[in-house]
Structure 1
Amino acid sequence: MATPLLGAEGLHLEFPTKVVFDSLTLGIEEGDRIGIVGRNGDGKSSLLGMLAGRIEPQAGRVTRRGGVRFGVLAQGDELDPESTVGHEIVGDRPEHEWAGDPEIRDVISGLVADIPWDARIGGLSGGQRRRVALAALLVGEWDLIALDEPTNHLDVEGIAWLADHVKRRWAKNSGGLLVITHDRWFLDEVCTETWEVHDGIVEPFEGGYAAYVLQRVERDRIAATMESKRQNLMRKELAWLRRGAPARTSKPKFRIEAANQLIADVPPVRNPIELQRLAVARLGKQVVDLEEVGVRFGEREVLREITWRIGPGERTGILGANGAGKSTLLGLVCGTVAATSGKVKRGKTVRIGMLDQQFSQLADIGGDRVREVLAETKTTFTIDGKDHTPAQLLERLGFAREHLSARVDDLSGGQKRRLQLLMLLLSEPNLIVLDEPTNDVDSDMLAAMEDLLDSWPGTLIVVSHDRYLLERVTDQQYAVLDGRLRHVPGGVDEYLALRAAHVAAHENPTSASSSSSAAETQEGLSGAELRAAQKELSALERRLEKLGTTIEKVHNEMAAHDQGDYEGLAKHTARLRELEDEVTETEERWLELSEQLG
Structure 2
Amino acid sequence: MANLINLEAVSKSYGVKPLLSEVSLGVAEGERIGVVGLNGGGKTTLLEVLSGVAEPDSGRVSRVRDLRMAVVTQRTELPEGTVRDAVLAHYAADHEWAADARVRSIVDGLGLTALGLESSTENLSGGERRRVALAAALVGELDLIVLDEPTNHLDVEGVRWLADHLLARRASVVVVTHDRWFLDTVCGRTWEVVGGNVEQYEGGYADWVFARAERARLAATMEEKRRNLARKELAWLQRGAKARTSKPRYRIEAAEALISDVPAPRDSVELLTFARRRLGKTVLELEDVTLRAGDKPVLDDVTWRIGPGDRIGLVGVNGSGKTTLLKLLAGEAEPGSGRRIEGKTVRLAHLSQELEGLPGQLRVLEAVEEIAGRVVLGKQEMSASQLAERLGFPAARQWTPVEDLSGGERRRLQLARLLMAEPNVLLLDEPTNDLDIDTLQQLEDLLDSWPGTLVVVSHDRYLVERVCDAVYALLGDGRITHLPGGIDEYLDRRSRSQQAAPAPQRKESAPSGKPSAAEHRTAMKELGRLERRLDVLTKREGELHEQLAANATNPDKLVDLNAELKSVLTEKDDVEARWLETSELVE
Q: Following TM superposition, by how much is the alpha carbon of 1:305 offset from its aligned partner in structure 2, in angstroms?
A: 2.7
Q: Deviations over 1:31-77 (max 9, x none)?
A: 21100000001100000010111111111111011121111011133
Query: Helix, strand or coil for the counterpart of 2:487?
Result: helix
Does 1:280 pair with 2:271?
A: no
Does the CA-based 8 Å contact 1:21-1:201 persist in structure 2? Answer: yes
Match of 2:288 among 283, 289, 292: 292
Matched residue, 2:133: 133
Give the whole-Å Cα distance in 2 for the aligned partners of 1:434 and 1:421. Answer: 9
Residues 418-457 of structure 1: matches in 2 within 5 Å?
A: 418-457=412-451
Matched residue, 1:572: none
Residues 51-90 of structure 1: matches in 2 within 5 Å?
A: 51-81=50-80, 83-90=81-88
Does the CA-based 8 Å contact 1:207-1:251 persist in structure 2? Answer: no
Give the whole-Å Cα distance in 1 for the aligned partners of 2:448 and 2:462. Answer: 15
Matched residue, 1:335: 331
Match of 2:465 among 471, 483, 505: 471
Higher mean C-alpha displacement, 466-475 vs 370-379: 370-379
Give the whole-Å Cα distance in 1 for the aligned partners of 2:115 and 2:252. Answer: 46
Query: Helix, strand or coil for the counterpart of 1:366?
Result: coil
Q: Following TM superposition, by how much is the alpha carbon of 1:386 offset from its aligned partner in structure 2, in angstroms?
A: 4.0
Q: Following TM superposition, by how much is the alpha carbon of 1:282 offset from its aligned partner in structure 2, in angstroms?
A: 1.3
Give the whole-Å Cα distance in 2 for the aligned partners of 1:73 and 1:292. Answer: 46
Query: Helix, strand or coil for the counterpart of 1:360?
Result: coil
Does 1:91 pair with 2:85?
A: no
Q: Deviations over 1:514-566 (max 9, x none)?
A: xxxxxxxxxxxxxxxxxxxxxxxxxxxxxxxxxxxxxxxxxxxxxxxxxxxxx
Match of 2:485 among 482, 490, 494: 490
Identify if the C-alpha distance between structure 1 residues 252 and 54 changes in structure 2 by more than 3 Å, giving closer, same or farther. Answer: farther
Does 1:503 pair with 2:498?
A: yes
Matched residues, number: 505
Give the whole-Å Cα distance in 2 for the aligned partners of 1:67 and 1:505. Answer: 43
Matched residue, 2:166: 166
Identify if the C-alpha distance between structure 1 residues 337 and 397 changes in structure 2 by more than 3 Å, giving closer, same or farther. Answer: same
Identify if the C-alpha distance between structure 1 residues 491 and 39 changes in structure 2 by more than 3 Å, giving closer, same or farther. Answer: same
Identify if the C-alpha distance between structure 1 residues 92 and 24 changes in structure 2 by more than 3 Å, giving closer, same or farther. Answer: closer
Give the whole-Å Cα distance in 2 for the aligned partners of 1:325 and 1:261. Answer: 46
Which residue identity lines up with residue 63 of structure 1 in the other structure? S
Give the whole-Å Cα distance in 2 for the aligned partners of 1:397 and 1:230. Answer: 13
Which residue identity lines up with residue 153 of structure 1 in the other structure? H
Matched residue, 2:156: 156
Q: Following TM superposition, by how much is the alpha carbon of 1:369 offset from its aligned partner in structure 2, in angstroms?
A: 1.2
Matched residue, 2:533: none
**Which structure 1 residue ranges, 5 or more long, are not aligned?**
514-598
Does the CA-based 8 Å contact 1:505-1:512 persist in structure 2? Answer: no
Give the whole-Å Cα distance in 2 for the aligned partners of 1:504 and 1:292. Answer: 32
Which residue identity lines up with residue 48 of structure 1 in the other structure? L
Matched residue, 2:40: 41
Identify if the C-alpha distance between structure 1 residues 203 and 297 changes in structure 2 by more than 3 Å, giving closer, same or farther. Answer: closer
Q: Deviations over 1:284-304 (max 9, x none)?
A: 110011122111356432321
Which residue identity lines up with residue 168 of structure 1 in the other structure? A
Does 1:197 pair with 2:193?
A: yes
Q: Deviations over 1:294-342 (max 9, x none)?
A: 1135643232132211000110000000000101111111111111122
Q: TM-score, normalised by structure 1?
A: 0.82
Matched residue, 2:14: 15
Query: Helix, strand or coil for the counterpart of 1:321?
Result: coil
Give the whole-Å Cα distance in 2 for the aligned partners of 1:422 and 1:227. Answer: 22
**Which structure 2 residue ranges, 5 or more long, are not aligned?**
509-587
Q: Deviations over 1:356-383 (max 9, x none)?
A: 1112241xx0121123224434442335
Does the CA-based 8 Å contact 1:367-1:408 persist in structure 2? Answer: yes
Matched residue, 1:569: none
Identify if the C-alpha distance between structure 1 residues 373 and 510 changes in structure 2 by more than 3 Å, giving closer, same or farther. Answer: closer
Q: Following TM superposition, by how much is the alpha carbon of 1:427 offset from its aligned partner in structure 2, in angstroms?
A: 1.1
Q: Following TM superposition, by how much is the alpha carbon of 1:116 offset from its aligned partner in structure 2, in angstroms?
A: 1.1
Higher mean C-alpha displacement, 293-302 vs 327-336: 293-302
Does 1:406 pair with 2:364?
A: no
Does 1:117 pair with 2:135?
A: no
Q: Deviations over 1:86-145 (max 9, x none)?
A: 121110511121111111011111102321111111222211111111111100111011
% identity of equivalent residues: 52
Does the CA-based 8 Å contact 1:69-1:143 persist in structure 2? Answer: yes
Identify if the C-alpha distance between structure 1 residues 234 and 84 changes in structure 2 by more than 3 Å, giving closer, same or farther. Answer: same
Matched residue, 2:146: 146
Does the CA-based 8 Å contact 2:368-2:413 persist in structure 1? Answer: no
Give the whole-Å Cα distance in 1 for the aligned partners of 2:37 and 2:465. Answer: 22
Give the whole-Å Cα distance in 2 for the aligned partners of 1:264 and 1:510. Answer: 58
Query: Helix, strand or coil for the counterpart of 1:136?
Result: helix
Matched residue, 1:542: none
Give the whole-Å Cα distance in 1 for the aligned partners of 2:275 and 2:226. Answer: 28
Does 1:462 pair with 2:460?
A: no
Q: Following TM superposition, by how much is the alpha carbon of 1:256 offset from its aligned partner in structure 2, in angstroms?
A: 2.5
Matched residue, 1:527: none
Which residue identity lines up with residue 434 of structure 2 in the other structure? D
Residues 343-362 of structure 1: matches in 2 within 5 Å?
A: 343-362=339-358
Q: Deviations over 1:12-36 (max 9, x none)?
A: 1112221112211111111211000
Higher mean C-alpha displacement, 376-385 vs 240-249: 376-385
Q: Following TM superposition, by how much is the alpha carbon of 1:511 offset from its aligned partner in structure 2, in angstroms?
A: 9.7
Which residue identity lines up with residue 88 of structure 1 in the other structure? A
Identify if the C-alpha distance between structure 1 residues 121 and 458 changes in structure 2 by more than 3 Å, giving closer, same or farther. Answer: same
Matched residue, 1:231: 227
Query: Helix, strand or coil for the counterpart of 1:137?
Result: helix
Give the whole-Å Cα distance in 1 for the aligned partners of 2:474 and 2:249. Answer: 38
Query: Helix, strand or coil for the counterpart of 1:25?
Result: strand
Does the CA-based 8 Å contact 1:504-1:511 persist in structure 2? Answer: no
Does the CA-based 8 Å contact 1:211-1:252 persist in structure 2? Answer: no
Which residue identity lines up with residue 414 of structure 1 in the other structure? G
Identify if the C-alpha distance between structure 1 residues 24 and 296 changes in structure 2 by more than 3 Å, giving closer, same or farther. Answer: closer
Does the CA-based 8 Å contact 2:368-2:416 persist in structure 1? Answer: no
